[in-house]
Every structure is written in C-alpha cells, then in structure tokens.
Amino acid sequence: MCRQWCKLSFRGKILSVVTNEITWGIFIILACAIALIIVWVVNKPIEWQKYKDPVHEQKLMSIIGGIFAIVATLMSLAQIVQHLVHKSHKASQKRIIRILCLVPVYALTSWLSLLFFKAAIYMEFIQQCYEAYAMYCFLLLLTKYLGGHRGVKETIVHKETIHLVFPFGCCCQPKANPKWVWYFKIGLLQYSWITPICSGIAVILNLTNIYSNGLWKFNQGYPYITIIITISQILALYFLITFYSNMKDDLKPFQPLAKFITIKLLVFFIFWQSVIMSSLAAAGVLRNTLCDPQVNAYCHGSTIGFTVEQEKILLGNILICVEMFFFSIAHHWIFSWKPYANEAFTNIIESRSLQAINNHNNIDRQFATTCF
C-alpha cells in the first residue's frame, strides 16, 4: 500500500512538472539556443565584420527578443487560463489576471519596438498607461484580501496610529481614521492619471519634434516629462509601502511581501532602466556604432551603423523581453491559481467581507438607537 502511494505521488509530481508552463517555456528557450549554436558551429568561421550593420543587428536582436517575448506571453496566458478555470473568487482573481497581463503587454510592445524603431515611443506610451493601471489593480487586490473597502476601514479603525515610513515616520504619527483608505487610493490614483497624461503629451511633443526622447536637453520635453513621472512614482511607491507596512500582519496569509516586491520591481525597475539607458547615452557610454562600407554592402556607403537613440531602443527593449520571461516564471508562484482552486484564499476573503459587513451594520444600528 505504501509503495503504491509512493508511486502515485511520484507520478503526480512528474505529471505536474511535465504539464507546467515553466517547464515548456524553459525547454523552448533552450531548444532555440541550441539551434542557434548548431547553426553557428556547422558554418565556417563567421566574419563578423560582414554582419556589423543595422540590418543584421536589428534582425538578430528581433529574433532573440521575439523568442523570449512569445514564450513569456504564452506562459502568462497559461497562468491566466488557469485562473479562469479555477475561478472561486471573481473580485480578487480579476485583479490578478490584469496584473498577469503586464508581462504580455511589456513583452509584445518591446518586441514591436525592436522590429519598428519609429513605433518605440508609442509602444512606451502603451506600457506606461498599462503599468499605471496595474499598480492601481494591485492596491485593489490588497483591499479585496482585507475584505474590500469596508474591511480596510475596519482594519484601520482598530489601529491607534498610522505608521508612516521614512522620512515622515520619524516626526509624524497621525491617528488612524477611515479617511486613510481614501488617502492610500488617491496616492496611487494620481500615478494612474499622471503617467498616461504625461505619456500622451510626450507623444504629441515627439510629433512636433520638441521631445528628444532620451536626451537631457532642457529646451526639449523629455527631462520635464521624466521628472514629473519620477515624482509621481515616488509618491505612489511611498503610499504603497505605507499601506503594506500598516496591513502586513492582516495580509500575511496571502504572502504579500513577494507580491509587493514583484510589482515594485516590474513597474519601477523598468522605468529606471530606461532612465539609466538615457543617462548612459548622455554620458557618451552609448554611442553611434560603426559600419565598414568597404567590407559590408549593407552599410550603403555610410560609416555609421546605429545611432545612439537606436542603440538605446535596441538594448532597452531586448532587456525587457528577456526580463519578462523571468517575471512570468516568478508570477507562476507569486500569483498562483492553486490557493483559489482549493478555496483557501476564497474562504479567508469571504469571512473577512462578511465580518466587515456585520460590523458596519452594528455601527449603523448603534447610531440609529442613539438618534432616536
């Protein structure tokens, strides 16, 4: 009996690995890498100078970026389908699905930026709009874990003070009151509004040739848009950290720290990655590439390959394509569908929602009796 149970458990583990989208994703990436290595090995020693031109470099970057982008998208879609199949709490899983869509949005728009340089600023506009929306969805997800809007109110009311993180926490400890629910929401909502507006203005300025994407020239629009978005991000991050630091004990069953770190890295790290690329270009680390027209016919008589701006687009977007593959792996465990399949999360959320409603009704009854 024990042997039979062990065999069944071993088979179950093997089956779960084989049917796992991460296994297939890694397998496809490795298969593509091996195929590229074989193509390189079986050919004669490649004269790289003949391929150092914009045409070949862009094709190579697009192929690599496309492989990672498509695999990351398929892995995320597999996770989304699992949530739809095992939907036991619609309100919270709906937010998780929207957060999981970040990976396909980033991966596919970055791949399109590699294929079409002129579309890069429009793809960036789509990314920034969706990341702002995903940030707000994440706050809503945390509120659903606490029993909804009323549940968050109840949690705050039972606290004496609101713990503000550094630097304001050193000098200020405001009293806890229900209004803090709205302060947290407004703190993140401002980012959800400011980012799309600034991105839209950037697109308009780019069409009128007064934006200069990536150049820190203060007679152009890029520095001002970047500064405004940076301030908005810092405020949103501050309110998100403050919300988490005050609610972390109540959120503990839902593993909030891993979710918080993932969202923070995905949204803020990628923005700062683009800023760093622009700073490297401004400092001269990224520069125009060279092309030898005497050796390579694809140079078309020019000694310049990619411009600094094109190099920045290439490096930034291929990094995002690769990073999305690893983020999709992280999402498999951090935003897993399994706690919903066994209704572990659902039972906690529904009990908290019911408790919040009962407490709210009791307060209304007490208020009515004191009035009459």
Identify whether the C-beta of residue 317 lies closer than 8 Å to the C-beta of residue 344: no
| Structural domain contains residue 299 | yes
| Structural domain contains residue 177 | yes
Query: Domain tally for the chain?
Result: 1
Does the pLDDT of residue 5 top 50, yes or no? Answer: no
Does the pLDDT of residue 275 top 80, yes or no? Answer: no
Most confident of 9-13, 94-98, 240-244: 94-98
| Structural domain contains residue 18 | no
| Structural domain contains residue 167 | yes
Does the pLDDT of residue 223 top 70, yes or no? Answer: yes
| Across 342-352, average pLDDT | 77
| Structural domain contains residue 247 | yes
Please enumerate in sequence order all residues whose Cβ is within 8 A of that of 310, keeping only pairs 6 or more positions apart, or say none: 54, 117
Residue 73's pLDDT band (cuts 50, 70, 90): very high
| Structural domain contains residue 45 | no
What is the C-alpha separation between 341 and 10, in angstroms, rounded? 21
Strand partners, 304: 290
| Structural domain contains residue 365 | no
What pLDDT sits at residue 99? Answer: 92
| Structural domain contains residue 184 | yes
What single-letter DSSP state applies at residue 267? I
Q: Which domain holds residue 194?
A: 54-360
What pLDDT sits at residue 47? Answer: 60
What is the C-alpha separation between 75 and 68, in angstroms, rounded? 11
| Across 296-314, average pLDDT | 68
Read off the CATH number of the domain in which 344 is found: 1.20.1070
